[in-house]
Structure 1
Amino acid sequence: MVARWVGFAVIAGLAAVGATAALADITASAAASFSQAGLEQVSNYMRREIATGKIPGAILLIQQHGKPVYYEKFGLRDVPSKLPMTDDTIFRLYSMSKPVTAVAAMMLVDDGKLSLDDPVAKYIPAFADVKVGVEKRDEGGKQALMLEPLQRPITVLDLLRQTSGLTYGFYGEGAVRKLYAHSGLYSGEFDNAEFAARLAKLPLVEQPGTVWDYGHSIDVLGRVIEVASGKSLFEFEKERLLDPLGMTHTAFYVADETKRPLIAQFMPDDLLPSIAGIKDPTERSRWESGGAGMVGTLGDYARFAQMLLNGGTLDGKRYLKPETVALMTSDHIGPGSGIAYTYLYFLGTHSGYGLGLAVITSPPPHKHWQAGEYGWDGVGGTFFYVDPKDDLFVLCMMQTPSHRGEIETELPILIGRAMRHSTRP
């Protein structure tokens, strides 16, 4: 029976993932949708990754029709201290913060306090004067960085779909990216207002609306939310989204000292460099990075994913209009968007991009993805994807910067194969 391999971990995990179904219901649901042998392969794969020293531990949830059909904790959250992975383990979410910030922004759109067509300069005036950096040869024949005016303003839509021209400085080549890396962008203490002001002094890497470019767009969106709402980013998210949704462990740092031992750690030899200015999750920072700064538990994020899968509702409360969720989970960049650096792009080259989420547009040949699936990941190793067709989502929490890519690729294949009545191989 399915109960054998899910074991008592499911019973313990039900409260964490916000489910109320009885174990018999979970067993029946899993048996109807998944093969026991297939899910045992999923478990065995995760155990091998731990046994070979690639990851310290992980928590994996598959939830279908609003109920967990697979939930298992693997390994340790901290290797040196041998602390086990537990339901209340706290993970650095990194870029899985982006969908949360995007939802917060779209709540303001639903409220009529924000419009996708609004120029960013309406909320942050310094962006009215931003320029685009273009590398050209000067009169002496030397390569030089020239500044050109905007062909059109950056809009809120550009921030949400990552077509603003804002980038990161930790990957790629080119003079603008080097400016980001060496400009002192993350020096000292600063808040969202100051960070947006610093970014506005740097040139864009492309004209707005022309290329999907992974960068600080969602961080600037966080500042737009603050101006539009009159609250700090966390205050607004906590009041309107996190607390009502039951995401009580999700924040920008772990304030309660007694809970800091719950933070999952990387393997001792797989530490993540300090990229994009992200601070230690035990240290309070004035900067609330909407693009990469949040921490949280699997249980919290499961409620967030289920709300999206439900079309904007959970437990009888509506957070987003159904048409807003549909808009967020539709492709907004289309073919020829110029996506580069695909190793940074969760769901790969077969995806488009919605508003804060990648969206499958053309499933790859091995068909472990389906058109319409959407999700995102974090550089520390967390990832999730939602499959509206099969009414399920998959959420994996781990802290493994070096091996996240291979696991993100392999797990969906194994899960797809475990599904009964599936066209996936």
Structure 2
Amino acid sequence: MTNADGLSKTLNRIHDVMTGHVESGDMPGLVTLVSRRGEVHVDAIGRLAFDGLPMTRDTIFRITSMTKPVTAAAAMILVEENKLRLDDPVDRWLPELANRKVLLAIDAPIHQTVPARRAITLGDLLAFRCGYGMIPVFPDRFPIQKAIAEAGFAPGPVFPSFPPDELMRRYGSLPLIYQPGERWLYNAGTEILGVLIARVAGVTFGEFLRDRIFVPLGMKDTGFYVPADKHHRFATCYARDPATQKLKVFDYPVTGKFSSPPVFENGSAGLVSTADDFNAFAQMLLNGGHLGSERILSPTSVELMTTDQISSENKQESQLFLGESRSWGFGMSVFKKLDDPNAAPGRFGWDGGYGTSWYSDPREQLTGILLTQRMMDSPQPPRVFTDFWTSMYQPVDD
């Protein structure tokens, strides 16, 4: 996309390809946003539900794991204020995680443990090296997987719904799967991080995000639930029924899990947002921490977030989520090499399991956001994701 004509052709191609996914019945509708060097284009296709109103630019979506980079940014605000440090143990604020025990081996009974060699740090939580997380072995076959499920942390589309103190008590009842700093494990780090941020800041996690990120960036429709006066803009969420292979409603706008304040403000998967709202967050990162006159983070903090923070040893067995071409920064993935048409090195971002995707490319000053509410069937990107990103990066003939 080197000129206006090329950008126009790219946008037309994205529209045509995305329209095909809606017309095929794979989802009722979607919203795409493409921003390049400050020029923003939004396309709303289809409907909020199969029997619903037309999709609009300001439709609200459950962005699930796209919450993670927002949580990481909130933590870095506290680092810049000297209230937290990346290498400091989190025991002071999270005593439930003090004096950890670690499984003797991944397949050991959960009582066979050894002492942790060191405490969990803020950096461990941000980089998903804290020792807690998802074991990418399906179906479950290890005792620790059963214990994790019994504690209420089984992987899947239904997220923990415990008060923060109870959530931490449950984490504290489990041994670590690996030593702190040893291995990248998905998801738990930012779940715990939201509780840490609230305890350090002395306000709820939602209040901190609102006051320090959402209001300054003008993210007026982003939060942990959709108020009643906005339910008419809230898309219905669908999942494929494994028995019938047909789509069925997973979460309703008015009566669903995101339609009222939650018991737990989940820093890993709890936010709702719109294309323009999330683009404001993305542009803040691309700008080195500021948007307009509002500075959220320093350039150094943004660089830390968007730079590879895990070693090849940390990354073992993470291929299900990261593949071969990317690694992990703070709360988001970072592309390391080019191994397919849409894996631009240096690009950062993440996906959401309810059907959302965001990545920003600093070299091109390019952001793409795809918002659907057609839940992913596996950790592998669905066809609509790969089609969107391939269309973004595919060369055009002038």
TM-score range, shorter chain: 0.7 to 0.9
Structure 1 residue identity aligned to 2:362: P
Identify the match of residue 29 of structure 2 among 49, 52, 57.
Answer: 57
Larger relative helix fraction: 1
Q: 2: CA distance between counterparts of 1:420 and 1:200? A: 57
SS for the counterpart of 2:394 is: helix
Q: 1: CA distance between counterparts of 2:163 and 2:282? A: 28
SS for the counterpart of 2:279 is: helix
Identify the match of residue 245 of structure 1 among 212, 217, 220.
Answer: 217
Instruction: Report the Cα offset of residue 219 of structure 1.
Output: 1.1
- Matched length: 378
Q: Does 1:370 align with 2:338?
A: no
Q: Does 1:298 align with 2:275?
A: yes
Pair 1:36–1:136, CA change in 2 (3 A): closer
Q: 2: CA distance between counterparts of 1:47 and 1:78? A: 15
Identify the match of residue 182 of structure 1 among 141, 150, 165.
Answer: 150
Q: How does 1:73-92 map to 2 (within 5 A)?
A: 73-80=44-51, 82-92=52-62
Mapped contact 1:306–1:314 kept (Cα < 8 A):
yes
Pair 1:402–1:326, CA change in 2 (3 A): closer
Q: How does 1:32-71 map to 2 (within 5 A)?
A: 32=4, 34-68=6-40, 70-71=41-42
Q: Does 1:227 align with 2:199?
A: yes
Q: 2: CA distance between counterparts of 1:183 and 1:324? A: 34
Question: 2:85: which partner in 1?
Answer: 115
Instruction: Report the Cα offset of residue 344 of structure 1.
Output: 3.4
Q: 2: CA distance between counterparts of 1:280 and 1:105? A: 26
Pair 1:405–1:85, CA change in 2 (3 A): same
Mapped contact 1:313–1:320 kept (Cα < 8 A):
yes
Mapped contact 2:29–2:45 kept (Cα < 8 A):
yes
Question: 1:154: which partner in 2?
Answer: 120
Pair 1:171–1:264, CA change in 2 (3 A): farther
Identify the match of residue 334 of structure 2 among 355, 359, 362.
Answer: 359
Q: 2: CA distance between counterparts of 1:156 and 1:164? A: 9
Mapped contact 2:225–2:261 kept (Cα < 8 A):
yes
Question: 1:380: which partner in 2?
Answer: 354
Instruction: Report the Cα offset of residue 183 of structure 1.
Output: 2.5
Identify the match of residue 63 of structure 2 among 86, 90, 93.
Answer: 93
Structure 2 residue identity aligned to 1:351: R
Mapped contact 2:126–2:189 kept (Cα < 8 A):
yes
Q: 2: CA distance between counterparts of 1:188 and 1:250? A: 20
1:90-123 superposed Cα distances (whole Å, 9 cap, x missing partner):
1001111111110000011111111001112121
Mapped contact 1:270–1:401 kept (Cα < 8 A):
no
Q: 2: CA distance between counterparts of 1:198 and 1:337? A: 25
Question: 1:4: which partner in 2?
Answer: none
Which structure's CA Rg is the greater one? 1
RMSD between aligned residues: 2.5
1:6-63 superposed Cα distances (whole Å, 9 cap, x missing partner):
xxxxxxxxxxxxxxxxxxxxxxx98437354443222111111111111211111110
Q: 1: CA distance between counterparts of 2:9 and 2:224? A: 40
Identify the match of residue 262 of structure 1 among 233, 239, 242.
Answer: 233
Pair 1:147–1:400, CA change in 2 (3 A): same
Which runs of 5 or more residues in structure 2 are unaligned?
240-245
Mapped contact 1:91–1:399 kept (Cα < 8 A):
yes
Question: 1:321: which partner in 2?
Answer: 298
Question: 1:390: which partner in 2?
Answer: 364
Q: 2: CA distance between counterparts of 1:51 and 1:405? A: 16
Instruction: Report the Cα offset of residue 398 of structure 1.
Output: 0.8
Q: Does 1:282 align with 2:252?
A: no
Instruction: Report the Cα offset of residue 211 of structure 1.
Output: 1.0
Structure 1 residue identity aligned to 2:200: A
Bigger shift: residues 154-163 or 123-132: 123-132
Which runs of 5 or more residues in structure 1 are unaligned?
1-28, 138-142
Structure 2 residue identity aligned to 1:120: V
SS for the counterpart of 2:186 is: coil
Q: Does 1:201 align with 2:173?
A: yes
Q: 1: CA distance between counterparts of 2:143 and 2:368? A: 39
Structure 2 residue identity aligned to 1:417: Q
Pair 1:259–1:307, CA change in 2 (3 A): same
Q: 2: CA distance between counterparts of 1:212 and 1:136? A: 14
Using the size of structure 2 for normalisation, the TM-score is: 0.88
1:308-331 superposed Cα distances (whole Å, 9 cap, x missing partner):
111100012111001110111000
Q: 2: CA distance between counterparts of 1:330 and 1:205? A: 25
Q: 1: CA distance between counterparts of 2:160 and 2:183? A: 31
Pair 1:381–1:151, CA change in 2 (3 A): same
Pair 1:90–1:197, CA change in 2 (3 A): same
Instruction: Report the Cα offset of residue 191 of structure 1.
Output: 2.0
Pair 1:33–1:358, CA change in 2 (3 A): farther
1:361-388 superposed Cα distances (whole Å, 9 cap, x missing partner):
1221x34222111001110011110100
